Every structure is written in C-alpha cells, then in structure tokens.
Chains A and B, each alone.
Chain A
Amino acid sequence: MDAVTGWWDDYFWGSMVVLQVFIFSLLLMVLFGLIGAAAKLSDNRVAQKISAAYTVIFRGTPEILVILLLYFGSAIFLTSVAQVFNPEIKFVDVPPMWAGTFAIALIVGSYATETFRGAFLGVKPGSIEAARALGMSNLQTFVFIRIPEMWRLALPAFGNHMLSLIKDTALISIIGLNETFFVAKQAIGTTGEPFTMYIVVGAIYLGFSTIITLTVMGLEKFGLRTTEGAR
C-alpha cells in the first residue's frame, strides 16, 4: 500500500471527476426519464412509439457500445458540420466527459422511464379524488399530492438507478475520461503495482455506492414517516 502514497491527490481529483459526471448525468437522467414517462403516458401514438423504441434500444444494447457510438459518432457528426463552414477543419474533438455523461444518462434514463411511469400509475386515484374534493386545483393536486406520492413509490428503484449511474461512469474511462481509472493507469506505470492501484479505484467506487445507498435509506425512512403521519 506504500506505493499509493503520492497518488492520493490524483485519486482525489479523479474522484471529483466521477462526482461531476455523476451529478450532471443524474440531472439529465431524471430529465430523460420524465420525458420518456410523459411520452409513454401521453395519448399521442407517435410519442408512445418513440418512447417505447427509446427503452428497447437502450436496454438492449451494451452500455459500452452506447458510449463508443456517442463519442465517435458525435465527433464525426460535428466534424462534418464544422467542415460545411470551414473546410480547413480536419477533426472536431468532443470531450469524452460530455459524450460519456450524455450516454450514461440516456442509458439509465431508459430504465428511469419505466420507474417514473410505474410511480405515476401507482398513485391511488383515491388520494387524487380526495384532494379534488377538498377543493384543491389541478396544479395544487399535482404538486402537493401526486409528486410526493410518486416520489415515495419511485425512490427504491431510483436509488438503483443512481447506483447504475455511478458505476457506469467507470465505462467512460474507455473513451479517455481522466477519472480514477486514468490515475490508476498512470500510477501503475511508475509503481508497477496494478492490484494496489485498481483496488483503490474499487474502494472509491464502493465509497460512492455506500453514500448513495445510505442516502436512499435515509430518504426512504423520511418518506415513510411523512406518509404514516398523514394517515
């Protein structure tokens, strides 16, 4: 373990990259999931079909393939767009961080689509009707009744989605994101201790997973308390 001394700060900054990717992909994932769920629940046939295709595609394709495709694909696309304006340009480089963030958000978002849809449908009509009967407006009902109830129903699965996201950030190292894997590779180059260096990477991810799990557990308890109090 002595070999790790001197690399701690690199690992720390690598972890910050993981954290950053996680946060941005989480926001995007929620967005994709909500759009997907809304489309599935809508009356619009086309929207339903598109959303269904979205889930089938991203659940049926290996994560690494989605990441590779988005990274290289967007580079080529942007290059050809740029060449329209300036034929001199040979290659537009897409930052792996953004391609990767976008890719894993799309992947996990396809799972979140089902979660959000299920949670929306899981809200008992009784509580909605009761709220209406109390004279709440549509918006009030949505904000004060449906959202909290959906949130409670979706939380356990949502916790799993967050775990998927944090673990999928590791895959972005394949297209060259400078996160903990990258640090480990550099460290191995100088120390010749691959086991030690990758164990540190594993420990960092385990730490992130633990924090997420504990947070979700805490939120679940909180959610339970509020609903029990309401009864």
Chain B
Amino acid sequence: MIFDLSLIADSIPKMLAGIGITFQLMALSAFLGLILAVILLLMRISGKWYLSWPAQVHIYVFRGTPILVQIFIIYYGFPQFEFIRESIFWPILREPFGCAVVALSLNTGAYVSEILRGGVLGVDRGVLEAGSALGLSARHKFIYLTTPIAARLALPAYSNDFISLMKATSLASTITLMDMTGIARTIVAQTFAPYEIFISLAIIYMVLTWGIQKTFGRIEKYLSRYVKP
C-alpha cells in the first residue's frame, strides 16, 4: 500500500480549518464542566440529602452511559418536546454546537466532580484540625486550606480528564458539526483514502494531547514547589 503524500499535504490544512471548533468545544465545555463539577461537589459534601442525592444521581447517570447517547438525547431527543422548542434554551439546543457543548459539559462535570472529591478527601485531616485549633471557620478552612491542597492533589487526574474531553469533542462530528473529525470524514467519503486522512488526523490529535500534557505538567510542577524540597 502506498501513501498518497500529495493527498495528505492537501487534506491537513483542510482538517486544521476545523481545529477552531475543536478548541471552542474543548475550552467552553471544560470551563462550564468545571463550574458544574464544583457545584456538584459542594452539593455532595453539603451533608444535606436533598442536595447530595441529585448530585450523586447526575454523576451516576453521566458516568454510566456513553457520551454518544448523551449527545444524541440532547440533539435528536430534546426537540421531541414542544416545551423545549419554546423555551429560552432553544437557540442553544437547536444548534449542533450548543448541543455538543451542553452534552460535553454535563459529562465532564460528572467526572471532574469525582476527581475533585478525591482531592478533597485526600487533604490531611491534621492540617484541617490545625485550622480549627487556630479558630478558622468551616468556610475559611474550605477556602484557604481544602481548596488549594485538593486542587493540587486532583491535578494529575484532572489533566487526564481534560485529554478525554479533547478526544470526546470528535464525537460532535456525529451531529453534523464540522470539527476536524467531521472534515476528515467528509474527505474520506470523497476520496476513500482512510489511511492517509485518518492517520494524519490521529497525529494532529496526538500533538494536541502532548500539548495538554506538557501544559498540565508545567502547572503541576509550579504547584508542587511545596511538595518536595
């Protein structure tokens, strides 16, 4: 089998035209997902069943089902209902981009919330007791002790989830969105050259993964200045 190099040279710029959408999906969903994750976490550790229970259900459902199903339910499923079509959210849910962001945020929020919870549970109890003994309120302890320490502990797992999210943006191509994967699939349908196109695209994604890993590695190193002498 011979690789058609000119085809690769032709298609890479075409696919890269979709990198903007990939980045937008990733950044927006990561941001909204993180907010959701913090809210879910606070609900879970609130100690109130009527808050912690819905949070647990959300986490259970979104971690227990494929993202593809979640995307399809939101994009194809929601318009089944009149009240959604008439709601203020319709401008978002009408567009594949909006649906992808909503689905990815809800999904990553569930995972990240569990990651953050792991961080919070990992905070040394003695440190919090020292805070209590100094008279810090529960809120102050959470803000000044638990949050920074837990964030540091959660970072490696968070970085992995960020990579999963980046990869998951490719699923937006299943609801007609022209991200890099969407464009690649169109090109393959026209040229029937899956090797050339998909392998080049895989390399682009690997570079992105590498970039994310490097970035988080930097942040981790900076935050770890207090961990090792």
Q: Which of A63-87 contact B (CB under 8 A)?
A: 63-66, 68-69, 72-73, 76-77, 80
A72 x B65 contact (CB < 8 A): no
CB-defined contacts of A169 to chain B, threshold 8 Å: 66
A188 and B76 in contact (CB under 8 A), knowing A64-B181, A65-B205, A68-B194? yes
A195 x B78 contact (CB < 8 A): yes
Report the bound CA distance from A213 to B64 in whole Å: 9
CB-defined contacts of A163 to chain B, threshold 8 Å: 63-64
For residue B69, CB closer than 8 A to chain A, the reply is: yes
B205 x A60 contact (CB < 8 A): yes
Chain A interface residue count, Cβ-Cβ cutoff 8 angstroms? 43
A69 and B195 in contact (CB under 8 A), knowing A198-B77, A206-B61? yes
Secondary structure type dominating chain A contacts:
helix
B65 x A205 contact (CB < 8 A): yes
A76 and B77 in contact (CB under 8 A), knowing A62-B167, A62-B170, A64-B181? no
A170 x B76 contact (CB < 8 A): no
Report the bound CA distance from A167 to B63 in whole Å: 9
Residue of A nearest to B185 (CB): A68
Binding site for B on A (CB under 8 A): 56-57, 59-66, 68-69, 72-73, 76-77, 80, 163, 167-171, 173-174, 181, 184, 188, 192-199, 201-202, 205-206, 209-210, 213
A62 x B81 contact (CB < 8 A): no
A202 x B205 contact (CB < 8 A): no
Of the candidates B70, B81, B195, the one whose C-beta lies within 8 Å of that of A76 is: B195
For residue B43, CB closer than 8 A to chain A, the reply is: no
A173 x B68 contact (CB < 8 A): yes
Report the bound CA distance from A64 to B194 in whole Å: 13
Binding site for A on B (CB under 8 A): 1, 60-61, 63-70, 72-73, 76-81, 163, 167-171, 173-174, 181, 184-185, 188, 192, 194-195, 198-199, 201-202, 205-206, 208-210
A64 and B65 in contact (CB under 8 A), knowing A76-B194, A195-B73? no
CB-defined contacts of B61 to chain A, threshold 8 Å: 202, 206
A181 to chain B, nearest CB (A): 8
CB-defined contacts of A193 to chain B, threshold 8 Å: 80
A198 x B69 contact (CB < 8 A): yes
Report the bound CA distance from A181 to B72 in whole Å: 10
A194 x B69 contact (CB < 8 A): no
Of the candidates A65, A171, A206, A210, the one whose C-beta lies within 8 Å of that of B68 is: A171
CB-defined contacts of B66 to chain A, threshold 8 Å: 167-171, 205
A34 to chain B, nearest CB (A): 22
B81 x A65 contact (CB < 8 A): no
Q: Find the residue from A57, A196, A201 having the highest chain B CB count within 10 A.
A: A201
CB-defined contacts of A80 to chain B, threshold 8 Å: 1
A64 x B80 contact (CB < 8 A): no
Report the bound CA distance from A66 to B170 in whole Å: 11
A54 to chain B, nearest CB (A): 13
CB-defined contacts of A197 to chain B, threshold 8 Å: 77
Report the bound CA distance from A163 to B174 in whole Å: 22
B198 x A209 contact (CB < 8 A): no
B194 x A205 contact (CB < 8 A): no
A210 x B77 contact (CB < 8 A): no
CB-defined contacts of B185 to chain A, threshold 8 Å: 68
Of the candidates A57, A62, A77, the one whose C-beta lies within 8 Å of that of B168 is: A62
Of the candidates A57, A194, A206, the one whose C-beta lies within 8 Å of that of B76 is: A194
